Structure formats: C-alpha cells, structure tokens
Amino acid sequence: MAGHSKWANIQHRKGRQDKLRGKLFSKLSKEITIAAKMGDPDPDHNPRLRMAIKEAKVLSMPKDNIDRAIKKAIGGDAENYDEIRYEGYGPGGVAVIVEAMTDNKNRTASTVRSTFSKAGGNLGETGSVGFMFDRKGQVIYPASVGDDDTVMMAAIEAGAEDAQSDEDGHVIICADSDLNDVSNALEANLGESFSTKLIWQPNIQSELDLEGVEKLMRLVEALEDDDDIQSVTTNMDASDEVMQAYADSED
C-alpha cells in the first residue's frame, strides 16, 4: 500500500471502536437517524442511510437498534442536530479534522477547544487545515476477497480512482460523489465490504515518532469519547515499526 501503516491505522481504530462499543452504537444510531430524517427512510433510495446501515452492520450493531433509529426519524421523534466540522492542529503539528453532530453548538465548541488545548494542540478556524485533505469515498475489503490484480480490476471497472493492497487487505478510493455507485459495483463483484464510508484523505502528511503518536492518540481518543463527536481524522503518518510499538504499548 502507498504510504505507511494505512491498514495498521485502520485496525487500531477498529480496536478502539471495539472497546467503546456502547458509545459507538449511540453514534451510529445518531447517523442513521439523521440520514433517514434528511432523506428517504428507505436505504435503497438514500445512499447516506445505506452506508450508515452497512457500517453499523460491519460493527455488529443489532438489527433492532438500526430499525429503532430509522423509526425514530420516521416518527418525527429525532432531535434536531447541527453537523459541524472543526479543524485544528494536534501535538507535533499534525492536522486534525473533527466532525460532530450536536444539539448545542456552544457546548460542543467549548469541549473541543478545551480538549485540543489540554492535549497540547490548538483549535483553528474552519479551513485552517482542510486544504491538507481531500474528501473521498473509501471501501475496504479483507485480503480473502482476492489477489491484488483481481481487486484492482474490480476497482477500475467500478470507476474507482485507486486500489491499495497488502497482505492484510484492500483499500479502494473513489470520488466522494461516486461512492454509492462504486460500492454497489464492487459489491456485485467482490461481495460485501468490510467498510464503506466517506473519509478525509490527507494530501500532506506529518511523520511522527512513537512519542508523537502517543501524544496525538491521547487527543484523538479524548475527542472520540465525547458523545457529540462522530469522527476524528488526522494527517499523521508513522512507520510500521512505530505503529507496532504503539499497539504493543496499548496491550
């Protein structure tokens, strides 16, 4: 795969998610409800809802929880949330994008600013780090779906921009507006994906050593612990050796 530790970073994030399953389900439910409220409650006619449901299923969210989140939107019981993006710099000058859904913008802004400050970072203005990222669609498959050439051909036929593979899995990247079509085409060829979602892909990366990774991850995890925060993305890069050392220290 191009760059360092992309799959290792993904796997670490999944490990982090597994530890916070209850909190994660709450955030997934919020995304499903908002997606259903803003569009068609039928996932076949609502790409955002379809992706949210797929992500929930991959992370083993019970079907009853998914159905309840959709019914909440249909029944008009869903809270009114604002979707907000925060941008700033974490320890080591790493760029950080934080996406939130909140019913109280002042509360969330105050919490995010305080969390950055306590971790040695600095919350900036909207756009302060956004230029370091591109909005993309990302589809992830395990290595078991096929070899590099098979996945690359499926990605090309589906209209994707890139496919990166190693012994752990395949990461397919496409334009954000093409994600629904690309994921449907890939599913027809390769089966159900491990993950399908919109991401912020760094176009400039900041290399960190082990100490830097540890400091940055404290910020990321503190942000993720907040119920208002849906996702945290950084432009951190680190060698496989550094990421393995970090994973070992977390065990």
DSSP-derived secondary structure letter, 78? P
Q: What domains can you pick out in the chain, each with its CATH number?
A: 6-74 (1.10.10.200), 82-131+204-250 (3.30.70.980), 133-202 (3.30.70.980)
Number of neighbouring beta carbons within 10 Å of residue 162: 14
Note the helical H segments in the chain: 6-19, 21-38, 47-58, 63-74, 105-118, 148-158, 179-190, 210-224, 240-250
pLDDT at 44: 85
pLDDT at 32: 92
Query: Which residues are within 8 A (CB) of 222 and not within 5 positions of it... i.e. 6 or more apart?
Result: 115, 118, 119
pLDDT at 73: 84
- Residue 216 forms beta bridges with which residues? none
The span from the CA of 19 to the CA of 200, in Å, is 23
pLDDT at 251: 65
The span from the CA of 192 to the CA of 36, in Å, is 22
Per-residue pLDDT of the chain (251 residues; tens, 9 = 90+): 333 445 445 445 555 555 566 788 888 999 999 898 888 888 888 888 988 998 888 888 999 999 999 988 887 766 788 899 999 999 999 999 999 999 899 999 999 999 999 999 999 998 999 999 999 999 999 999 999 999 999 999 999 999 999 888 999 999 999 998 999 999 999 998 888 889 999 999 999 999 999 999 999 999 999 999 999 999 999 998 998 888 888 76
pLDDT at 209: 94
Q: Which amino acid is at 23?
A: K
Q: Which of 240, 169, 236 is nearest to 200 (CA)?
A: 236
Length of the chain: 251
pLDDT at 202: 94
